[in-house]
Structure 1
Amino acid sequence: MNISELQIVDFKKEYAEYFYNLNIECLQKYFYVEPYDEKILNNPQEYVIDSGGFIFFAKLNNEIIGVVSLINQKTFFELSKMAVSPKYQGLGIGLQLMNFCIDFAKNKNWKSITLYSHRKLVSAIHLYKKVGFTEISLEENSHYERSDIKMLLELS
């Protein structure tokens, strides 16, 4: 499999089903789908794009195999809803999506990127640390019931 042909492309309405399906598959494997997830995943145009956020897709040979979003949370941008198709995991696609988001944020002159995760996602936490995210204190009422870690990447 030649992932050097991987492209990272912007959100299009016809890709919305991949945003939903890739994330639902991941959430159901490790956790459960929370009401906040359903809201975002069922209507990415309204809750991500129209709110000033961004969604990017990893595309290989005309197949969407991964996704990531940068959600505008008013006072910060949250890296969220990152998922890679199980048959393409372990090939560095998550890292490529992360690096794309970091470069994108730097080009927009953002000061930082925040994310919420769970410690049982060991490989994801490792990836976040690898690209420079550090753990910060998690507020008591995070918008995710499952989150037990909050991380920040300083860009400036």
Structure 2
Amino acid sequence: MEHIEIIPYSPELSPFFKSINQAWVEELFSIEPFDRAQLEAPEETIIKPGGTIIYAKLGDEIVGTVGLHKISDGEFELVKMGVSPSVQGKGIGMALAKAILDKAKELGGKKVVLYTHSKLGPALRIYEKLGFKEAEMEAGKYCRCDIKMKVEI
């Protein structure tokens, strides 16, 4: 298997953040206002408030991405993890998740939360392997999400 390279955000890669995530969200759910804001303006909604976005590159192709949104000092939210369908099942999601947790630590994070849906089985398995545990969900946080998870890092 080819080597998975994790690369940092750059404005030139922003279209991949949108295209990879928009594809899975539209296939399984529908785009909500918060999705639109993050996908259309990741620099303003994720990067500038203190978060980051990383990408997975396989060969010459960007095949995955994930964001880290800063909630407060020491707490981040993992957002928009997506992998191109043609390379799913090759460990790219796990590589992205591990790398974004490392990035959260670098940025002073102590806790990472995420919101997901019970029908996203492969993603749930990745999160559980990395130590995420279910947490109490806030009412009305995100329409499509039925699970909140967190991990201390």
TM-score (structure 2 length as normaliser): 0.95
Query: Aligned pair 1:59/2:42, yes or no?
Result: no
Query: Aligned pair 1:14/2:12, yes or no?
Result: yes
Cα distance between partner residues in 1 of 2:102 and 2:72: 20
Cα distance between partner residues in 2 of 1:27 and 1:146: 10
What's the secondary structure of 1:73's corresponding residue? Answer: strand
Partner of 1:97: 96
Q: How far off is 1:103 after superposition? A: 1.9
What's the secondary structure of 2:6's corresponding residue? Answer: strand
Partner of 1:35: 33
Q: How far off is 1:141 after superposition? A: 2.2
Structure 2 gap segments, 5+ residues each: none
Count how many residue pairs are aligned between Structure 1 and Structure 2. 152
What's the secondary structure of 1:145's corresponding residue? Answer: coil
Structure 1 gap segments, 5+ residues each: none
Comparing 70-79 with 55-64, which one deviates more in the overlay?
A: 70-79
Q: Give the aligned residue type for 1:131.
A: L
Equivalences for residues 136-147 of structure 1 within 5 A: 136-142=135-141, 144-147=142-145
Once the two structures are aligned, what percentage of the paired residues are identical?
Answer: 39
Query: Aligned pair 1:118/2:117, yes or no?
Result: yes
Q: Give the aligned residue type for 2:144.
A: R
Large movers: runs of 4+ above 3 Å:
none
Comparing 122-131 with 17-26, which one deviates more in the overlay?
A: 122-131
Q: How far off is 1:108 after superposition? A: 3.4
TM-score (structure 1 length as normaliser): 0.93
What's the secondary structure of 1:78's corresponding residue? Answer: strand
